[in-house]
A and B are shown apart, each in its own frame.
Chain A
Amino acid sequence: MSAQPVMPSRLPAAEMTVGPFFPPRYSDAGANDLTRLEGEGARGEPIDIEGRVVQLDGAPTHNLIVEIWQADAAGIYAHPNDPRHLEADPNFFGWGRAATDADGRYAFRTIRPGQTRERDGTVRAPHINVLVLFSGLMRQLHTVVYFPDDGGAKDFDPLYRAVPGPRRAGVVAVAEAPGRYRFDIRLRGEGETPFFSLDDGGVR
């Protein structure tokens, strides 16, 4: 379609004007801290999840948006589709947003999620749903964070089991210290993070 691309003079920032995300100035002070809502503390164990997001060449991604959605400490989603939603922690919102810095790093402070329970009784391992938005991604990307210290619960989790064995480590956070986890994301290439389809893959 076009001639060889000419490298821009001000990498990496200028090239991203294809579609920067929502301007950070207005955003989102505190949107990466899920442990309190309107001043009230959420129930459960506070945990920190931090990581670095890189692209194919290993270069960090700057101003990439990471959003998370998770159940509360008891494994309940504050949404009418969860049959237990009336018991959800009113001080836990379950959603947060962070932007990566120039080194590709993001951080969340949240609550360790409990095991979620489906309508048919299936139990899912504690996990955090992750959405990635960035210029150069024509579609949003979805992945999931599991915990290394969940007592083996993820071995019975339908989404975890959907990930091909050799790639499963890519959806498990690394314990750095008690209550502190690292979850790095590689968008493409060697060690690529497993990402999930936006469609319903059907029965478990």
Chain B
Amino acid sequence: MAKARPGGAGGADGLGRTVITVGRFDEPSQSTPVVEGYRQTALRTPAEPLIKRPFTLSELTGPDRPERRLALLGTDLAGHGAQRALGQLIDVRLRVLDEDGAPLPGALVEMWQANAAGRYIHPNDDDHAPVDPHFYGAARMTTDATGCLSIRTIKPGAYPVPGSGRWWRPPHIHFSLWGRVWMSRLVTQMFFPGEPLNGQDRILHAVPDADARERLICRPRSPVDGPEDTLVFDHDIVVRGRRATPAA
């Protein structure tokens, strides 16, 4: 296969055709696959080592605009007036980047989160906390020409993981993203700064590298920098490479 710029997100082959490449998968920035105290990881993580394979077109291509198969959903999860969800209004200003730090325009992003009481609208969630009739907690959207998007939502609540020996998940938001190729598909979580439960979270601390862990935590803007009733958080997600946001 023609080689493009090593580690680069793009280049050209000998015939001048665009070639999108990906760099090394950065093991130190990634989470430990089997996590103590997170029982399901030991039931579901393969025991055999992952098989080394050459990259071919299968790994270095990927779906073009997956939103042609998955309906986009609005970026306002919080609602307004009588339809407003309970909880603290937040704006999440997300920026999606490739491994070189170049923004990914038009990237499809899915997000989902618990409501302010820590409850998901999902058949897998039980009745430990109330459903908010004005909050569904999921969105599907694409980044703009600068790789950015903005989500108006409410801050998710913490919740206990049933049967886990009092493990509480801190407030967090799940993201699922498509980069340019199949090897840059990423599912991860975003945490909030300064949360007391962050220090004990088994998923956040499954990432052994402190710098990589920091990349999972969003940054607060000054309260004066945003709408009067809303706190704004910035968050970058890098889909692959040395500065990759760890999968979670």
Measuring CB to CB, which residues of chain A are less than 8 angstroms from any residue of chain B?
1-10, 13-28, 30-31, 37-38, 55-57, 59, 61-63, 67, 69, 71, 77-83, 93-97, 116, 118-120, 122, 124, 127, 129, 131, 133-141, 144, 158-159, 162-164, 167, 187-189, 192-204
Minimum distance in angstroms from B45 CB to a CB of chain A: 6
Chain A CB within 8 A of B219 CB:
no
| In the complex, residue of chain B having the shortest beta-carbon distance to the beta carbon of A37 | B68
Contact at A26–B69, with CB atoms within 8 Å? no
Contact at A192–B19, with CB atoms within 8 Å? no
Bound Cα distance A22, B42 (Å): 23
Bound Cα distance A16, B126 (Å): 9
Minimum distance in angstroms from B14 CB to a CB of chain A: 9
| In the complex, residue of chain A having the shortest beta-carbon distance to the beta carbon of B55 | A200
Instruction: Select one of B1, B45, B189 contacting A120, CB under 8 A.
Output: B1
Chain A residues near B61: list those with CB within 8 A: 69, 77-79, 81-82
Chain A CB within 8 A of B192 CB:
no
| Nearest 7 A/B pairs, CB to CB | A136-B40, A201-B52, A8-B163, A79-B61, A2-B165, A95-B63, A199-B25
Bound Cα distance A144, B59 (Å): 11
Bound Cα distance A169, B64 (Å): 31
Minimum distance in angstroms from A84 CB to a CB of chain B: 10
Task: Give per-residue flags for B22-43: 1 if the beta carbon is below 8 A from chain A beta carbons, else 0.
Answer: 1011000011110111111111
Minimum distance in angstroms from A201 CB to a CB of chain B: 3
| In the complex, residue of chain B having the shortest beta-carbon distance to the beta carbon of A187 | B44
Contact at B69–A81, with CB atoms within 8 Å? no
Chain A CB within 8 A of B140 CB:
yes
Contact at A141–B46, with CB atoms within 8 Å? yes
Contact at A136–B41, with CB atoms within 8 Å? yes
Task: Give per-residue flags for B110-145: 1 if the beta carbon is below 8 A from chain A beta carbons, else 0.
Answer: 101000000011111110100000001110100000
Contact at A139–B33, with CB atoms within 8 Å? yes
Chain B residues near A201: list those with CB within 8 A: 51-55
Instruction: Select one of A8, A93, A164, A203 contacting B68, CB under 8 A.
Output: A93
Contact at A138–B162, with CB atoms within 8 Å? no
Chain A residues near B30: list those with CB within 8 A: 138-139
Chain A CB within 8 A of B83 CB:
no
Contact at B51–A194, with CB atoms within 8 Å? yes
Contact at B32–A195, with CB atoms within 8 Å? no
Chain A CB within 8 A of B176 CB:
yes
Chain A CB within 8 A of B102 CB:
no
Instruction: Select one of B48, B53, B56 contacting A116, CB under 8 A.
Output: B56
Contact at B174–A19, with CB atoms within 8 Å? yes
Query: 17 extra interchain contacts, Cβ-Cβ under 8 A, other than A138-B41, A195-B46, A201-B55?
Result: A14-B125, A14-B126, A17-B169, A18-B169, A19-B248, A20-B120, A20-B125, A28-B70, A79-B61, A81-B20, A96-B69, A120-B2, A136-B44, A140-B247, A187-B46, A188-B45, A204-B54
Chain B residues near A94: list those with CB within 8 A: 63
Bound Cα distance A158, B39 (Å): 35
| In the complex, residue of chain A having the shortest beta-carbon distance to the beta carbon of B73 | A26
Contact at A83–B25, with CB atoms within 8 Å? no
Bound Cα distance A79, B144 (Å): 20
Chain A CB within 8 A of B5 CB:
no
Bound Cα distance A194, B46 (Å): 8
Contact at B53–A159, with CB atoms within 8 Å? yes
Contact at A27–B70, with CB atoms within 8 Å? yes
Chain B residues near A19: list those with CB within 8 A: 174, 189, 203, 248
Chain A residues near B2: list those with CB within 8 A: 119-120
Chain A CB within 8 A of B206 CB:
yes
Chain A CB within 8 A of B80 CB:
no
Instruction: Select one of B51, B202, B247 contacting A196, CB under 8 A.
Output: B51
Contact at A31–B124, with CB atoms within 8 Å? no
Chain A CB within 8 A of B183 CB:
yes
Contact at A2–B126, with CB atoms within 8 Å? no
Minimum distance in angstroms from A134 CB to a CB of chain B: 6
Chain B CB within 10 Å — which of A14, A21, A93, A200 has the most?
A200
Chain B residues near A14: list those with CB within 8 A: 124-126, 128, 162-163
Task: Check A2/B47 contact, CB under 8 A, given A159-B54, A202-B54.
Answer: no
